[in-house]
């Protein structure tokens, strides 16, 4: 989401709505190949603004990396809400209190605030797939790739 915001900031206001639609096409594509085509269209359509194109394309593989995870997890990977919502109460509290005082007090305060915020977090779709991802299972366009019979189980 930050990459999208930075890209839009590099465009004139008159082009931002069109660019937002083009960005949505990239992230809402059915698979990595379609997303790549949508990204190429963005590059062609907005070539007049090379700074905006560079902000989006400098990390092309990273930008499309979520397609290498289970499709059920794409919703979570496309957003920074998990990070933002985790640290929002910490920022709010430290701004009000003018800092935590000591390092130990700060660590304790952060731990307790995040622990309290955890109760409001959205659960992960398909939590049974998290173990597969952690074990190094390979996914292509959101689907688990079956291992070849000759491969060793790691």
Rounded-to-integer distance, Cα 115 and Cα 103, Å: 18
Write out the chain's pLDDT in tens, 154 residues.
677 888 999 999 999 999 999 999 998 888 889 989 999 999 999 999 999 999 888 888 888 878 888 878 767 666 656 666 677 777 777 766 666 677 888 888 888 888 887 777 777 777 888 888 888 888 888 888 865 444 554 4
> What is the tally of helices (H) and strands (E) in the chain?
9, 2
Rounded-to-integer distance, Cα 43 and Cα 47, Å: 6
Cβ–Cβ under 8 Å, residues 25 and 38: yes
Which helix (H) or strand (E) covers residue 139, if one does? strand 139-140
pTM over 0.85? The answer is no
Rounded-to-integer distance, Cα 71 and Cα 92, Å: 34
């Amino acid at each position: 989401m930050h990459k999208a915001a930075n890209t839009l900031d590099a465009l004139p206001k008159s082009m931002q709505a069109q660019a937002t639609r083009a960005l949505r096409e990239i992230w809402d594509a059915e698979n990595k190949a379609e997303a790549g085509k949508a990204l190429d269209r963005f590059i062609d359509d907005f070539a007049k603004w090379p700074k905006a194109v560079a902000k989006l394309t400098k990390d092309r593989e990273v930008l499309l990396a979520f397609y290498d995870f289970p499709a059920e997890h794409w919703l979570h990977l496309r957003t920074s809400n998990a990070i933002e919502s985790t640290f929002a109460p910490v920022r709010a509290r430290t701004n009000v209190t003018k800092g935590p005082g000591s390092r130990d007090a700060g660590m304790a305060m952060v731990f307790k605030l995040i622990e309290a915020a955890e109760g409001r977090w959205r659960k992960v779709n398909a939590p049974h797939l998290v173990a597969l991802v952690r074990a190094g299972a390979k996914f292509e366009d959101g689907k688990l790739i079956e291992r070849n019979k000759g491969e060793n189980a790691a």
